[in-house]
Structure 1
């Protein structure tokens, strides 16, 4: 992949190790950095998001629910292992990632290996993913996990939210759900669409009072721990007709389309024509936004803070431009914003888009 132009180093102490509620803050009291065009960066709280937007703008959110997608097991030699269920794959298979109990990647998994899971369930690694030619050491695997009654109900009993080493203790599933989350018949997100976490009913009410509409899409995320330079994998999405209509009407009236998170951006841009017209759609998106495919319809973005060299940075640059993204990240490090899913937020609003002309 093309390297991002945004370079920075995150001091380890800036990782958010717990939800803001554990620090005595409401969800919408996390910090919000507003980076707007050529204006100076502004520091506020997420509760002030509506004041940074305009009447006629449209905020688009992801309603995917978070699954308890981590479950403990043992390899054939008795070594403990944690299985992260990333999501479904064709032929009734699932994509999984193996981790050690302390969160390190398992690098010696083998095709054909069985992982013993609770209640007599065995997950069998079949082929590497996305490259089925890999038989040893793949980061992700296609696996068969036969469970009577279905995998989701079994995970509801034996699973827990995926947690990385910077979060020091286990938190309940509700800590990993957004105010928009809607449980559906299909498997949801392996990890929370975390850009939406700071939203509250109070923020949504204030948006409505300001004349900012809210529309919804669905994009189910897999595990968000790719190797450096690894592009985002295909993900399941759905953009309903009412959201496509709202986006087109907003653009026609001169309003801005502001997405919440890279997931929402990816889904919306998947159904955007070169002239920015959006149609309803559903399926698997393979879209990778970046220098070769800039944003066509998204005018601004609410986001958390991503790791250096993450592919998400290319998506941010495709929406807001490398200069604005770099300026925002430099300010976030300097002013000690908190990183990761329980961290602080950023609103990127580039200068008025010229994409309207197609």
Structure 2
């Protein structure tokens, strides 16, 4: 299967630059995964499609202020860091700009030396392995010096940085938000629970590997970057009980989908775990546990649209995207949503 098989024409003006004032007022496209029938709704109408006994699985990772601006010591040259993932302790995989001048042994100062970093190795695809030095608590210093790592296609400043967090964000560690969850409000989640919908949380710290373009012509040659996830015993028990009782598992976002499919066995059972996943889901993949998905509208030729195509079909997915363009849906992180079930 070729990468270009997942291309669609996307007008630039449909790329959402700012979030809506009310999270749950974004648009919702409901797609029947079997026959492709489409309904146009508002996101809060998700209530009508979830049933008592279903389980909604949410990724409660929290985006860290992962973009840092510093200077090289002693030259004073400007340097930009983007933290991708913690390797261990104070060692991180990081994107550095300008990369050509970021050599092993270089020292970078942030906040007049409040935070220091030393480049200790080269990582994958141009990244660098760095070790940080500081006094105090790293997360507090990062919150003081760092800024939100908004995607490159968002050109406008974000007035409220909490709008790039889900309302249930809890565990810090992501370089990007699990954006399908941005549509939920606490009130909507409460109403769903009152209806009898189970709410379960997983944690997957989102790295930029999820969003890196597929450069190979043949999609089978693409390799995903590994991301760390955790599933608690409580979450595993909730999901397994729902499946045993005939309920549906609805995964919110591609991160939740990839986590569940990484840990589920051939019988559709999940277990508590903390592990890394580099699962790449594309058409031909047989889903083991996920019965429905909630997701935003993704980039052409991306691994994310390939995943959605695997859940239904390439033809149905691309038709839905054509309808989204035709009906002026908002795309990407601050865009509208799709329920495929």
The answer to whether TM tops 0.5 is yes
> Helix, strand or coil for the counterpart of 2:294?
strand
Q: Does 1:200 align with 2:185?
A: yes
- Give the paired residue count: 329
The alpha-carbon deviation at position 92 of structure 1 amounts to 3.7
The alpha-carbon deviation at position 311 of structure 1 amounts to 1.3
Aligned partners of 1:255 and 1:109: how far apart in 2?
A: 54
Aligned partners of 2:214 and 2:206: how far apart in 1?
A: 18
Q: 2:6–2:318: 8 Å Cα contact kept in structure 1?
A: yes
1:53-104 Cα distance to aligned partner (Å, 9 max, x none): 22322110011112111111234654433211112014641011134xxxxx
Q: Does 1:235 align with 2:219?
A: no
Q: 1:30: which partner in 2?
A: 26
Do the aligned partners of residues 45 and 276 (structure 1) sit closer, same or farther apart at CA in structure 2, a change above 3 Å counting?
Answer: same
1:230-288 Cα distance to aligned partner (Å, 9 max, x none): 54311111111222122222222222111001111111112101221211111222322
Q: 1:135: which partner in 2?
A: none
User: How big is the alpha-carbon RMSD for the aligned residues of Structure 1 and Structure 2?
Assistant: 2.3
The alpha-carbon deviation at position 141 of structure 1 amounts to 1.9
Which of these residues, 60, 76, 81, is aligned with residue 79 of structure 2? 81
Q: Which moved more, 1:196-205 or 1:116-125?
A: 116-125
Q: Does 1:162 align with 2:149?
A: yes
Q: 2:26–2:337: 8 Å Cα contact kept in structure 1?
A: yes
> Helix, strand or coil for the counterpart of 1:125?
strand
Q: 1:128: which partner in 2?
A: 122
Q: Does 1:253 align with 2:248?
A: no
TM-score by length of 1: 0.84
The alpha-carbon deviation at position 347 of structure 1 amounts to 0.8
Runs of 4 or more consecutive aligned structure 1 residues displaced over 6 Å after TM superposition: none
Q: What residue ranges of structure 1 are gaps of 5+ in the alignment?
A: 100-105, 131-137, 350-358
TM-score by length of 2: 0.88
Decide which structure has greater strand share.
2
Q: 2:297: which partner in 1?
A: 305
Q: 1:9: which partner in 2?
A: 9
Q: Does 1:139 align with 2:126?
A: yes
> Helix, strand or coil for the counterpart of 2:40?
strand
